């Protein structure tokens, strides 16, 4: 099996604000001395793993990320007839296995257990860091809840060992997991996802808009009912993804069939799923116009250097595709073959197909 799978995608987005910074502006980066639009890898991975494409293809093998597992356990215990004080203590003990709860002292917990109407249960049980749970782990948690409710006693030390070294979730296998409270359950990510950058230099623009009050007759006030401003940008984005296929199979406990399905779902999502930011405002849905997929054992490399000098020539997509091809040829010339096999999809020239790419990556 060729160890590495590398993907290079070009996707053209019209005016959009897919991924915002703390001020609500589209995220940017300076590359080659020029401002570029940026979509963070975190935003991309979130969009892919929660997409219909991913969820349907991998039903039963996708995990759940949350800080609020303790609150869910508490609610389930109460729904099964467990008293507030006991449910609070038992769910707090479970929450500690996944992270550090906001309330760290059992004495403080005892006080909270006396006045259920005045207690912020979620605030007490919420852990500081998002925890990622695989399907088998979620099943084990649900089973323990019913066991505790049936016998009227809290969890034993053995029962609290709910996490798995191989959690069986494809998104954990691909994108990794860090459990600060119990590092033994950390999992190294099989997929590395770069931040997508526009190949063209971009200045973020402002859209000043107004809204009309439908019940304002204009007899006394002819002004707008609302005035607002939203920022946006447009560009052709280059995205690089590298997957260690051997590590993916290892993370999935040797299940090659599931690893193949995971790769197909990942690639289809990268090609067809856009981040959800401001979609109602801009309808900036887009599919990749160009995909280069590579397999091989050679050390991976991004082709972002092709766009160190921003693309200025039109047609922009054709120029970007040409630059990728030229960069591949030159790197192969000086380093030797950087891939054992390649497959392309080129929607600009109507060549290749998504199905061929999917078959290629899952071989």
Q: What is the 3-state secondary structure (H, E, C) of 62-105?
A: CCEEECCHHHHHHHHHHHCCCCHHHHHHHHHHHHCCCCCECCCC
Q: Are 51 and 154 in a shared domain?
A: no
What's the CA gap between 306 and 226, in Å, rounded?
44
H-type alpha helices, 183-300: 245-251, 256-272, 279-282
**55 and 85 co-located in one domain:** no
Provide the residue range defining the domain that includes 9: 4-63+189-361
Q: Cα dihedral sign for 303, 306, 308, 311? A: negative
Query: Is residue 173, in this structure, part of any structural domain at all?
Result: no
Residues 111 and 225 in one domain: no
What is the count of structural domains for the chain? 2
- pLDDT, tens digit, for every residue of 15-53? 999 999 998 899 999 999 999 999 999 999 999 999 999
| Nearest partner of 74 among 88, 60, 85, judged by Cα | 88
Count of residues for the chain? 363
Query: Which of these, 288, 350, 323, lies nearest to 200 by C-alpha position?
Result: 323
Contact 43, 51 (CB under 8 A): no
Cβ–Cβ under 8 Å, residues 293 and 16? no
120 shares a domain with 239:
no
Same domain, 27 and 86: no
Cβ atoms 20, 277 nearer than 8 A: yes
The answer to whether residue 175 is domain-embedded is: no
217 shares its domain with 306: yes
Of 166, 197, 225, which one is at a domain's C-terminal end?
Answer: 166
Q: 256-289 pLDDT, tens per residue?
A: 999 999 999 999 999 999 999 999 999 999 999 9
Are 128 and 151 in contact, with CB atoms under 8 Å apart?
no
Successive 10-residue mean pLDDT values, the chain, 363 residues: 93 95 94 97 96 95 95 95 92 91 74 72 90 94 96 94 91 93 92 98 89 82 83 96 97 95 97 93 95 97 98 95 98 96 97 96 83
In a domain, 12, yes or no: yes
181 domain-assigned: no
Query: Is residue 256 domain-shared with residue 311, that is, in the same domain?
Result: yes
Tell me the whole-structure pTM to 2 decimals: 0.92
Does a structural domain hold residue 244?
A: yes
For residues 159 and 200, membership in a common domain is answered with no
Chain-centroid distance of CA 142 in Å reads: 25
């Amino acid at each position: 099996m060729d160890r590495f799978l590398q993907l290079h995608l070009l996707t053209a987005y019209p005016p959009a604000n897919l991924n915002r910074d703390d001020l609500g502006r589209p995220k940017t980066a300076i590359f080659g001395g020029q401002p570029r639009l940026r979509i963070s890898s975190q935003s991309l991975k979130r969009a892919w793993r929660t997409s219909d494409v991913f969820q349907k293809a991998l039903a039963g093998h996708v995990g759940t990320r949350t800080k609020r597992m303790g609150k869910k356990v508490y609610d389930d215990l109460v729904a099964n007839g467990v008293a507030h004080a006991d449910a609070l203590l038992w769910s707090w003990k479970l929450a500690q296995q996944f992270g550090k709860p906001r309330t760290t002292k059992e004495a403080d917990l005892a006080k909270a257990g006396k006045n259920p109407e005045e207690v912020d249960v979620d605030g007490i049980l919420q852990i500081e860091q998002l925890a990622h749970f695989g399907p088998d782990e979620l099943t084990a948690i649900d089973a323990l809840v019913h066991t505790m409710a049936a016998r009227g006693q809290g969890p034993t030390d053995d029962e609290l060992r709910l996490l798995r070294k191989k959690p069986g979730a494809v998104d954990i296998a691909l994108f990794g997991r860090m459990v600060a409270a119990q590092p033994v359950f950390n999992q190294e990510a099989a997929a590395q996802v770069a931040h997508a950058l526009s190949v063209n230099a971009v200045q973020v623009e402002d859209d000043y808009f107004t809204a009309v009050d439908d019940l304002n007759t204009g007899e006394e006030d002819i002004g707008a009912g609302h005035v607002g401003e939203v920022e946006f940008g447009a560009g052709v984005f280059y995205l690089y993804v590298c997957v260690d296929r051997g590590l993916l199979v290892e993370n999935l406990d040797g299940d090659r069939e599931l690893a193949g399905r995971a790769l197909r779902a990942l690639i289809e999502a990268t090609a067809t799923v856009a981040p959800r930011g401001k979609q109602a405002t801009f309808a900036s849905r887009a599919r990749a116009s160009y995909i280069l997929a590579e397999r091989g054992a050679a050390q991976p490399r991004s082709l972002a250097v092709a766009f160190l000098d921003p693309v200025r020539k039109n047609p922009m997509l054709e120029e970007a595709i040409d630059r990728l091809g030229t960069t591949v040829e030159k790197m192969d010339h000086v380093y030797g073959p950087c891939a054992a096999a390649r497959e392309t999809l080129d929607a600009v020239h109507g060549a290749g197909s998504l199905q061929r790419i999917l078959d290629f990556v899952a071989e």
